[in-house]
Every structure is written in C-alpha cells, then in structure tokens.
Homo-oligomer: A and B are copies of this chain.
Amino acid sequence: MAKPLPLLTNPAPERRDAARNREALMSAATALVAEVGVRGVTMDALACRAGVGKGTVFRRFGSREGLMAALLNHSETEWQAAVMGGPPPLGPGAPPLERLLAFGESRMLLNLRHAELIEAAGNPGARSVAAVSFTTMHVRYLLGQLRVEGDLGYLATALIAPLEIIVLREQVEPGSAPIDRLVAGWSDLTRRVVGMT
C-alpha cells in the first residue's frame, strides 16, 4: 500500500500562509523601493524590514534579480487592476478621451519607474509581451468607444510605442525634456489621432 501524501490531505492552510507571506514580502519590498530606491534594496534589507530570515527571502525569490522580477510583476498587476477597476479617469467611469489621456500619462510614469526594476532584474531590453497586449487591447477598446475609424490595432500600437522606455529614455536621460512636455506631447498626438484637436 502506498503511503498517504500528507501535503495533499490538507493543502489549503499552507497555501494561504504562503500567499500571505508572499504578500507581506512584496509590501515590504515595495515600501523599501519607495524609501531607498531600487539600488538600495538588498536581500538583507528586505529580510530585516519584513522580519524574516535572509534564507526565507532567498528561498522565495532565488536572487536579487528574482526579487526585482517579482516586484515588476506585482507593480504591473496592480496597475492593470487600477485600469480595469480603479477610480476614474484611469479606471471606468470617465469619458473615453479622458480615460485615454489618463492612460498615457499613467503608463509613461509607470514605464519610467519600471525601467530601473527591469535593469535590476537583469533584463535591460525587456518588454513584457503580456503588458504590451494588455495596453494595446485597452487603447484599442477606447479608440472604439471614441468611434475612431481605421486600423484600430495599428493605431493602438502606434500610440503605445512612444511610451516605451527605449523611446522615453532618449528623451528623458539627456535631461532635455521634462515629463510635463512628454505628457503634453502625447496628449496632442492622441487628440490628432482621435480627431479631437
């Protein structure tokens, strides 16, 4: 007769614990980034902040790069939730042009914040396919709401392209363009595409 499999007899409480621990670690890591910046976040500092052993942090994330990848994923998920069900104008409830302009500004700031995390995750040129398809779908939906005619898939891609970090970096890093100018530029671009200038 086979032995009973203890892990399968009562898995729920353990999994719930694991989820709670993970959530607590992510909150501590997010708070740490806000306080000391991405560069200041070490596995030691996170263990200390979350009140767990360093071994726990390493078991959970594997490495500092793994932690950065988890933070990136967590932040992207929270942002998508805000777009889908958060307060307007980013979330539902505002007129579609307002939502679209709020989306552009919010995504631009998110991409700039994520740039450091992406680099720290050891993946400098990375572009998340899931994130791209979510943003494309959302912009396409709003263009439809605005009764724009044409190849909405292409127009959505074209509106998202200048928000990409690879494009933003050249505009921001030489210290040439303040964020306000980029936000205003994108709004103007969008109004032209939508035909509401």
Contacts and interface: CB of A to CB of B under 8 A. Distances in A.
A184 interface: yes
A105 interface: no
Given A125-B125, A150-B188, A167 B157 contact: yes
Nearest to A127: B166
Interface residues of A, number: 30
Contacts of A155: 185, 188-189
A184 to B, nearest CB: 7
A167 B170 contact: no
A146 B184 CA distance: 21
A158 B166 CA distance: 12
Nearest to A152: B185
Interface of A: 124-125, 127, 129, 132, 150-151, 154-155, 157-158, 161-162, 164, 166-167, 170-171, 177, 181-182, 184-186, 188-189, 192-193, 195, 197
